[in-house]
Amino acid sequence: MSRSKIHWYKYASPAHFYPLANKLIPWVATVAVVLFILGIYVAFFVAPTDFQQGDAYRVLFIHVPAAWMGMFLYILMAVYAVIGWAFNVRLSSMMASSLSITGAMFTCLALVTGSLWGKPTWGTWWVWDARTTSTLILFFLYIGFISLQSVIDDPRRADRAGAVLALVGVINVPVIYFSVQWWNTLHQGATIRFLSQPTIATRMLIPMLVMLSACWLYSIAVVLIRLCCIIVEREQSSVSFTEESTRENGAIAWGADK
């Protein structure tokens, strides 16, 4: 990655964040790529063929991490959005906007790969059962958050509106997580749980966890790059605005950098 010409730190409120982020991103991205390659290798060459689902179950090595990321990133997004709203931290709200795109991408992937797994194993591309439906709702929540932010011109108002939506939508995440226990669904139950032994062979568990770590690092890298872009975009528009108003009013612009 070439050295950035933009002085990111000038625009950041925590002034030391940007040099750090710029140094961090290439490393995180590299480790993510290495882990993806390693994860795919283990998923195809080490993990045995499932005796019920055959090789079709190998879709799950990307499906499950994608679905988890969709949920994790939503919770993170809601936390950042609410912090940004409650304590008036702009950077936090920008982080929420940055997270929303990657979260939506992973949720979309979870739905599509789930569909590609469902066709050979369930015999259908889509069923309206509790888990698939609540995951679809999660996707719509992301889309709602993104479109709400893009239709409101004033970024701070957009942040507040988004935070309300994100906060209300958080209720959907435990619904997704527990849906396989609460309702009698077609979707199989969790094989990896917090408090009990996973009901999955170790050779199948390891690729799942490697892929999950790869997805995490990928998300961190992408979200940080986007966060840098969002900050510059927003600060730039406010800079040009103050320049304009200075010219028009001949007044000293408030809050200008210098």
Partner 1 sequence: MTLSQLLSMGGYAFYVWGSYALSLIAMCAEVLLLRQRKKTLQRQHQNLSK
Measure CA 222 to chain center: 9
State yes or no: residue 236 binds partner 1 (CB under 8 A).
yes
Residue that is written with structure tokens 């709602």 in the block: 144
**Residues 16-55 vs partner 1: string with x where CB under 8 A?**
------------------------x---xx---x----xx
Query: Are the beta carbons of 32 and 217 closer than 8 angstroms?
Result: yes
91: phi then psi, degrees, rounded to nearest 5: -60, -40
The Cα 178–Cα 193 span in angstroms is 11
Instruction: Kindly identify the residues of this chain, within the stretch 99-138, that bind partner 1 according to CB under 8 A.
Output: 101-102, 105, 108-109, 112-113, 116-117, 119-120
In angstroms, give the least distance from the CB of 181 to partner 1: 26
Nearer to partner 1, 85 or 216 (CB): 216
The Cα 56–Cα 208 span in angstroms is 15
Query: Are the beta carbons of 133 and 183 closer than 8 angstroms?
Result: no
In angstroms, give the least distance from the CB of 144 to partner 1: 19
Q: In the complex, which residues of this chain contact partner 1 (CB under 8 A)?
A: 4-6, 40, 44-45, 49, 54-56, 58-59, 62-63, 66, 101-102, 105, 108-109, 112-113, 116-117, 119-120, 218, 222, 225-226, 228-229, 232-233, 236
